[in-house]
Amino acid sequence: WRVAGYAMLLDHLKAETTILKWPLAPTFWLVAALLIVTALIQLIVLANDVRVRGLRQTVDADVRVDAQGRPRKSSKFATMVAVVSLLGAGATILAANGVPGLRALLPSSPSWLAILMFVVMWGLIVATVPLGAAMIVAGLAGTIATMGFDRAMIGTGIATGDFLANVNIAILPLFLMMGSFAVAAGLSADLYRLAQALLGHLKGGLALATIGACAGFGAVTGLSVATAVTIGRVALPEMRSRGYSPSLATGSIAAGGTLGILIPPSGAMILYALLTDVSIGQMFIAALIPAAIAVLFYMLVIVGYVRVSPTSAPTTTKRESGELLQAIVRSWGMFAMFAIVIGGIYSGIFTETEAAAVGAGFAFVFALLRGKLRRAQFWAVVGETVQTTSMIFVLLIGGMTFSYFIAVTGLAESLKTTIEALNIAPIYIIAILLGIYLILGCVMDSYAVMVITVPIFAPLISAFGYDLIWWGIVMVIVIEVGLLSPPFGVNAFVLKGLANDVPLSAIFKGILPFMF
């Protein structure tokens, strides 16, 4: 509706593009038409979900995970929580528009209204409503209650539109596409073979190789769960067939997977930079030493693990003649892509967005030359990229909607004033925030955690005199720990999906040394 209205305005103004002088209105009419189609498709999906699942679905006996790696459960209780939360949001909107008897129920303080909408949002999340949708419902309801319907829709639309119009946001789908084409080309298997040739002859060598491969692949995908799944599919059968204990095998993969969001170019860091308006390139540079420390300490954990528990890994085997050279030659594509993308960014040849486009193009050509992009594989890569990009963009739109509401209420400023009045040393506030991130990282995807918290916490960090780039790296590392933490560590459930016969207790036993 809003996009169509904007198209009418552009048509009335005869607006054109700057260089080619193309009319702008037809593009926005097309976008409006596509949004109508997708809304209708979503209604069909919703109706089918209600018909098939409804109130009858019970918790599965086995462990299942959703697209973001979270445990998937649904129940009558969850459905009731969702209904109550939606009714609360609806009542807020009606009360804000002067419906008799409801206006008096609204909190008089904007801060209390913000807290109420937080409760609505978390109620929807607990009920397994997708996070982006939960934030949009709560954010819009709160903004309408604060500003009225028309002003809320216009203000939210402008804030979200300005954010999505940022050219740097194109870096996310481009890096995702680069990672998908790299997987299709078999670069993940090449990386593992190289790491295996380098380290496989050592005690616990395949576990060490897994950490090395995860580090290399994390530099391509920038996604934790994707790194754990992709390397896990290659590494887990290899380790288990050679006598590695299930705990060490799964623990090293789960830990290595966390490197996906720490080693640049990282999707989580890109998202943080977009949300806080800091330099993406500086975020990448700032992550290099922490990433190297993480890789080194993960490897030291494995060395200590096999010394304390010699039976967890088989005896060493000699490296075959020519194995290392063959692995290096086979992996030239990964080295070339990494050198072009990261070297281009750090040398100043490319901007971050240009480097992502070049990397995606290189990965596409490389997969094509290897004969890995037949019609089905090509559309699988495109579908995977679109699916992940859509998930992130819905999160971004939800986050912008909710953060606009938070800005309108002045909650961040009110929180800062309250904390300053308590006269607590800023370092203790940092410790409290890190504890919050540890808890959230256990149960939520890293993107979701950042979209919810960054608009509230970043102004506080900046007000206390801390550098936002430093805070971004610290926050990503603490989210990493959350991805491993029992009882809800996302990466543990991902590994459970890859190794159904391994008990969750054994997986967490293997993860704990890496977590510490």
Question: What local confidence, expressed as pLDDT, does residue 502 receive?
Answer: 78
pLDDT at 85 over 90: no
What pTM was computed for the model?
Answer: 0.67
At residue 79 the predicted structure's pLDDT band, cuts being 50, 70 and 90, is: low
Question: What local confidence, expressed as pLDDT, does residue 138 receive?
Answer: 85
Question: What local confidence, expressed as pLDDT, does residue 214 receive?
Answer: 82
**pLDDT, mean of residues 84-111:** 60
Question: What local confidence, expressed as pLDDT, does residue 251 receive?
Answer: 85
Convert 135-191 into a string of H (helix), E (strand) and C (coil).
HHHHHHHHHHHHHCHHHHHHHHHHHHHHHHCCHHHHHHHHHHHHHHHHHHCCHHHHH
At residue 34 the predicted structure's pLDDT band, cuts being 50, 70 and 90, is: very high
**pLDDT, mean of residues 55-71:** 45
**pLDDT, mean of residues 225-239:** 75
pLDDT at 193 over 50: yes
Give the lowest-confidence range in 30-34, 99-103, 156-160, 170-174: 99-103
Cβ 199 vs Cβ 419: under 8 Å: no
Within a 10 A sphere around the Cβ of 125, how many other Cβ atoms? 22
pLDDT at 309 over 70: yes
In terms of pLDDT, which residue wins out, 138 or 189?
Answer: 138
Residue 161 CB contacts under 8 Å (≥ 6 apart), including other chains: none
Question: What local confidence, expressed as pLDDT, does residue 71 receive?
Answer: 46
Buried b (16+ CB within 10 A) or exposed e, 402-434: bbbbbbbbebbeebbeebeeeeeeeeebbeebe
- ∠ Cα 388 71 497 (to 5°): 80
Name the amino acid, one letter, at 437: Y
**pLDDT, mean of residues 331-344:** 78
- Is the N-terminal amide bond of 265 cis, ω within 30° of 0? yes
**350-398: pLDDT as tens digits:** 887 888 888 888 888 888 888 878 878 888 888 888 887 887 788 778 8
Question: What local confidence, expressed as pLDDT, does residue 109 receive?
Answer: 67
Residue 322 CB contacts under 8 Å (≥ 6 apart), including other chains: none
**pLDDT, mean of residues 158-166:** 74
In terms of pLDDT, which residue wins out, 429 or 471?
Answer: 471
In terms of pLDDT, which residue wins out, 89 or 289?
Answer: 289
Question: What local confidence, expressed as pLDDT, does residue 178 receive?
Answer: 82
pLDDT at 37 over 90: yes
